[in-house]
Structure 1
Amino acid sequence: MNKSHVLFPIIFFFTHFCTNRAADSLCPINFDYVETFPWDTSLCREPVQSACCQTLRSVFGMGLAQYLKDSSLFYLPDANTSSSCMANFQEKLFSMSIPGSLFPACFNDTTEFVNRPSTSCAGIVTVNDWTQRVYTYAPLESSCNGDLTGLTRCSLCVDAGLKVNSYLVSLHPNSTKCFFFAILYAAAIVNDYGPEDVRTASCILGLPLSSSANGKGSNNTKRKLLFGVMGGFIGTCFAVILFLVYRKWDKKKKQDLMHESYVHSMKSRVLPNSGAKWFHVAELEQATNGFLQKNMIGKGGYGVVYKGTLSDGTEVAVKQILDLESKGDDEFTNEAEIISKIRHRNLLALRGFCVTSERFKGKKRYLVYDFMSNGSLENHLFVNDKKQNLSWPQRKNIILDIAKGLAYLHYGIKPAIYHRDIKATNILLDSDMKAKVADFGLAKQSAESQSHLTTRVAGTHGYLAPEYALYGQLTDKSDVYSFGIVILEIMSSRRALDASATSKILITDWAWALVKSGRVEEIFHESIRNEGPKGVMERFAHVGLLCAHVMVALRPTIADALKMLEGDIDIPRLPERPLPLTREMLQMPFKYSSSTSEGSIAMFSISS
């Protein structure tokens, strides 16, 4: 007996064959190797042994593997080609005196070797199809390459083939030939020696070799001794494997219970009226074409965002949370809990969630949002293409949209929500250029009866309010500061922090210097300087500077800022910007005039 009989008893199980003859020109496979390759023909000679059919199928499989290597095609294209190849194969065996009576028992279907994408294996036809379906599965590539003569190397290859078969069948349950496709791919593409090498054929194709090829003598005593030792070794290994499999199964069962408990708890946190849906990971893989790199539209510290299309044609943005073992999982939970509670036209709507744990891909967390066709605000502000420059009405409406979204977060729900990461990249624009505040991964809910939260500082440099950056004191006016920075960015198309200068210049310092020198119009981007009413544009710039004031007491609430922008209340005279910054300066109280005279500037007052 050959060792391949033990390691690979079911390899390449072709269940049917046909003896109908076809024209030689239809078959793309050269079967000359049947006569030259050192396979064990004694299994199919009188007396015929039970392993004969398996051996013949493995011999035919060598030809299919070579065909895959030459043409990149799995199996044969149609029934005529299959019939022709079987006829040619039968002729070669007949010339070697293999009894013709074996064929009705071993092969009886002329279409057995025709690739049917709907049922063969996950719609795979070519090597490129295989690569797209199994692109993340590296063990097959590493385990089935090189010399597979040793028992350990061959076993690793076989195990990798079984695993990738299970993976493909889990994605496409109707598949019936994924294991055979894995064998062909490993022999033809993965292994550098190719399918007609004795080491590849013996292990991957499970083809018994002749005595001369195996380098074995005919000493029956040695053979029996070898089989006895191998039998004992395999029995011991089998017992150990059973024990390890049981432990792994038990561990996996416990992990599944924990995972199910986590998923259940996540579902219970979503408000019943939120409208959020729980997606299956297969739906998201189909929507994003397997999360292809070309569909990636954004990447941040905790996640990657892909564009996708659901089965009903709806375009969505799928955010995959990374770093699940630490902060990433916290961000997913935080964003899922917070955003499921809010519904507003200027906040990015959440369509659903997905929590999954897979054998090959591990733990995955996804958030599914409406797709914003015009991307982020940053994509429109900091561009050199004049055609993409925002008009003054667009900039004005975007600022108002952001203010309304923040006002809802601060006053529209209880307890209030502080976003903590307002910036241009987190403002998304829909097809009508309506702005929506997005990315609630760092958001915090306020505590009842507390004026502020003391928390770990998080956010983006250049947008952080001073009292928050210095002392970790988070209030609604921390968001107002970031909003003021964004207003100035929108008005000027200048970044919050100019890193091109020798010393980094804050946009607030730059804008303040222009206002103090009477050159406020230089804040406006050149493309809009002649578009809108100068008084309205100056009002927006002043509100931006006021919101971004270093002293928290001198900043308006987002509600007052919105009223100032809409002209419902007056804007106080811009106070000086004190330096250096101290805690006392940050905490000085401030109140606004309630005058509503349009166009007038009211004085501000400071009370102790």
Structure 2
Amino acid sequence: MPSLALLRAVAMALLLLLARSMEGVDGAGGGGNATCPLDLSYVTTFPWDADLCAGGAGNMTRSAPRGHFRIPSVGESAACLKDYGAKLSAAPLSLPGASLVQTCFPSPEQFVSSPSFCAGVTTAAEYRAVVGNDSVAALDSACGDLSSTPHCLRCLDAGIAATSRLKAAANISANATTDGAATTRNCFYLTVTYAAGISNVAGPTNPPTAACTLGLALSNPPAAPPKSHDTVIYATAIPVAFLLLASLLAFLVWRRHDKKKKKKKIHEISKEGSAKRRSHPRPNTGSILYDIAELSKATDAFADRNLVGRGGFGAVYCGVLADGSVVAVKKMLDPDVEGGDEEFTNEVEIISHLRHRNLVPLRGCCIVDDDAEEGKQKFLVYDFMPNGALEDFIFRDGKRPALTWAQRRSIIMDVAKGLEYLHYGVKPAIYHRDIKATNILLDGDMRARVADFGLARRSREGQSHLTTRVAGTHGYLAPEYALYGQLTEKSDVYSFGVLVLEVLSARRVLDMSAPSGPVLITDWAWAHVKAGQAREVLDGALSTADSPRGGAMERFVLVGILCAHVMVALRPTITEAVKMLEGDMDIPELPDRPLPYGHSAMFSEAGSNFSASPAFSGPFIDNGDMLR
């Protein structure tokens, strides 16, 4: 007998109202004898993957067929829900369809056409007129075949472009009306509906199409049974393993012999290089080229007791230079960085020129080409920040007091102004690419400073930066950067929004403990805000101590969610975010947002889709809100 969670998940997995035909339906079927105009037989034929939706509620996507995006009348909507329940009750699902439909979809009105749905668009013809022929043609071309991951991603690109035009038209329409009838709600899902039901040749009842556009949890065909027996496997594996082991041993012997042969020569070169490379200012720059001997002395030969941090790009040691100044010495894990020594020193030169109270000053670097034991090494030397990383204060281990509201507000504003300087205070702009709690350091006065510019990159004036090497941290990466390597100032804004939510909630960017699977903080916070529970996003330590400032705290929550919006065009610039945080600019109505994608990587090779993973964590809210 399936569990209640599975029953609920299957019931909410889809109300696919992209059916065979509804052209010519004018909404006259509102009487008591109304029949459902939709073909819902897909419910019993789709290869549902029960394992993927057993942990939580699945995606619920609603739309309408070719003529209308939604059902014209309440009577027909009720008939469709009744038919849907019957399909769930029938074999092979054999679920309590009537009770599931009543629980998950209590009101048939939610599927009925309304002028308040995105720009008042209710039909495919209206959609084409609003979006424009060029965008519709691009959508039809990109979404005609969704049988593979690359096709799905191309369709996503076209869908985002079409939705942007639809949103723009919706805003114009909303400004032109006095009753607010035309809104920007659910514009993204009109595009999804159009792509699946009209642009795609196979139609929405085709499993690959549904998997791409609606994010359904469908199972793959079972793999063919192995043709060979265990004896054949062993006969093949053992010789291969033996050859690999022999090759490895031969390589190690050769490498040891080669090291001994070169050791004397390397030692001589090392002595000569140390004599030449004493600490000295680089000509026409603000940076210093340090001598490895000086850094070794400052950190007591990089002793473990001086290790203050370790990350994906290096280990950081505290040291005291000969002049008494305290520094942080970062030993890079990968000295063979892209671009070589020249690129590295050029980047140090760029960063060392930056002077802002919310940036960690970079003093200089050290390059060692000739270490006899460790080979090539690179070091960055920063001013030391005595209070360490912000992460230690957000996710305290009981040894530190909780941050006050004043401290959290100050930290968020400091980071925002540091980013604003990088984006607009220098020419060309610098994009950080890895804004996160461990890269925000706190000085002696608990002022936040943005650190780790080893990832900084200059931009071309007026252009986004396309990079083949995506650098950053999972959960903080903007979707367009993680997927396509498209780097803009808005990529940093996305990471900043995630950081804001972390600081306010004291919740990690990726919650691995949720029963439904990993959940992103952005999805979790969005669910609370859409349910009218913005205060639930705040750390419990703030809710009581700073209750008079609740309005300001909720404003910070809204700005964090807006900055971390999935769609690039809907994020503010960092300058706009600063003004919103300070109360100098009104926060716009939070735009629609695609489905939560916290359960698994969005657009993964295994299941790229418009929508999202079937996992959802957070308070149960109206089914319509789950889509935004």
Q: Distance in 1 between matches of 2:437 and 2:476?
A: 10
Equivalent residue in structure 2 for 1:339, among 348, 351, 359: 351
Alignment match, 1:221: none
1:564 aligns with 2:580: yes
Q: Say which of 496, 499, 505 aligns to 1:492.
A: 505
The structure-2 alpha-carbon separation of the partners of 1:476 and 1:455, relative to structure 1 and needing over 3 Å to count, comes to: farther
Does residue 372 of the first structure (1) align with residue 385 of the second (2)? yes
Q: Determine the structure 1 residue equivalent to 2:101.
A: none
Residue 430, structure 1, aligned to residue 443, structure 2: yes
SS at match of 2:329: strand
Determine the C-alpha separation between the residues in 2 that align with 1:359 and 1:473: 38
Return the alpha-carbon distance in structure 1 between the equivalents of residues 476 and 416 of structure 2: 16
Of 557, 565, 571, the residue aligned with 1:555 is 571
Deviation of residue 448 (structure 1)? 2.6
Match of 1:448 in 2: 461
- Greater RCO between the two (CA within 8 Å, min separation 6)? 2
Q: Which residue of 1 aligns with 2:538?
A: 524
What is the TM-score normalised by the length of structure 1?
0.51
CA distance in 2, matches of 1:277, 1:490: 35
**Per-residue deviation, 1:584:** 13
Alignment of 1:57-456 (within 5 A): 272=284, 274=286, 276-325=287-336, 332-333=344-345, 335-358=347-370, 360-361=372-373, 362-385=375-398, 387-456=400-469
What is the match of residue 27 of structure 1?
Answer: none
Show CA shifts across 1:290-328 (max 9, x none).
Answer: 111111111223321101112232211111123324559
TM superposition score normalised by structure 2:
0.49
Q: Which runs of 5+ in 1 are unaligned?
A: 1-162, 164-243, 587-608
Shift of the 359–504 alpha-carbon distance from structure 1 to 2, 3 Å rule, reads: closer
Q: Which moved more, 1:363-372 or 1:390-399?
A: 363-372
1:577 is matched with which residue? 593
Q: Deviations over 1:323-347 (max 9, x none)?
A: 3245596785465243123111111
Q: CA deviation at 1:496?
A: 0.6
Is 1:514 matched up with 2:528?
yes
Q: Is the 8 A contact 2:476 2:498 kept in 1?
A: yes
Larger Rg: 1
Using the TM superposition, name which of 410-419 and 387-396 deviates more: 387-396
Structure 1 match to 2:557: 541
Query: Offset of 1:397 from its aligned partner?
Result: 0.3
With over 3 angstroms needed to count, the CA separation of the structure-2 counterparts of 1:359 and 1:472, relative to structure 1, is closer
Give, in angstroms, the shift of residue 576 of structure 1: 1.6
Q: Judge conservation of contact 2:395–2:506 (CA < 8 Å) in 1.
A: yes
CA contact (8 A) 1:334 1:443 kept: no
Question: How many angstroms does 1:254 deviate by?
Answer: 12
| 2:434 aligned partner, one-letter code | D
Partners of 2:394 and 2:438 lie apart in 1 by 10
2:268 & 2:315 partners in 1: Cα distance? 28
**Contact 1:447 1:453 survives alignment (8 Å):** no
**Percent identical residues:** 58
CA RMSD of aligned residues (A): 3.7
For 2:536, the aligned partner's letter is E
Rounded to whole Å, the distance in 2 between the matches of 1:483 and 1:421 is 10
- SS in structure 1 opposite 2:526? helix
Contact kept, 8 Å, 1:332 with 1:365, in 2: the verdict is no
**Structure 1 residue 458 corresponds to structure 2 residue 474:** no
Once residues 335 and 388 of structure 1 are traced to their aligned partners in structure 2, the CA distance between those partners, rounded to angstroms, is 38
Change in 2 beyond 3 A, CA 1:505/1:300: same
Gap change, CA 1:413 and 1:552, over 3 Å in 2? same
Check whether the contact 1:320–1:367 (CA below 8 A) recurs between aligned residues: yes
- Relative to structure 1, is the Cα distance of residues 387 and 267 closer, same or farther in structure 2, using a 3 angstrom cutoff? closer
**CA 271–410 in structure 1, closer or farther in 2 if over 3 Å, else same:** farther
Q: Secondary structure at the match of 1:388?
A: coil
* Map 1:1-20 → 2, pairs under 5 A: none
Decide whether aligned partners of structure 1 residues 490 and 552 sit closer, same or farther in structure 2, where only a CA change above 3 A counts: same
- Size of the aligned set, in residue pairs, is 340
Stretch of structure 1 that moved more, 496-505 or 351-360? 351-360
| 8 Å CA contact 2:316, 2:329 repeated in 1 | yes
Contact (CA 8 Å) 1:334, 1:441: kept in 2 or not? no
Q: Deviations over 1:543-598 (max 9, x none)?
A: 00000000100000001001111111111011121249899999xxxxxxxxxxxx
Conserved in 1, the CA contact under 8 Å of 2:358 and 2:414?
yes
> How big is the shift at 1:383?
1.6
Given that residues 454 and 473 in structure 1 are in contact (C-alpha distance below 8 angstroms), is that contact kept between their aligned partners in structure 2?
A: yes
Is this contact kept in 1: 2:430–2:456, CA < 8 A?
A: yes
The answer for the alignment partner of 1:600 in structure 2 is none
SS across alignment from 1:421: coil
8 Å Cα contact 2:298-2:322 kept in structure 1 = yes
AA paired with 1:280?
Answer: D
2:478, 2:346 → 1: CA distance?
22
SS at match of 1:553: helix
Question: Partner amino acid for 1:522?
Answer: E
Q: Is the 8 A contact 2:266 2:371 kept in 1?
A: no
User: Deviations 1:466-525 (Å, cap 9, x if unpaired)?
Assistant: 111112111000000000000000000001111122310010111011111111111111
The amino acid that maps onto 2:589 is R
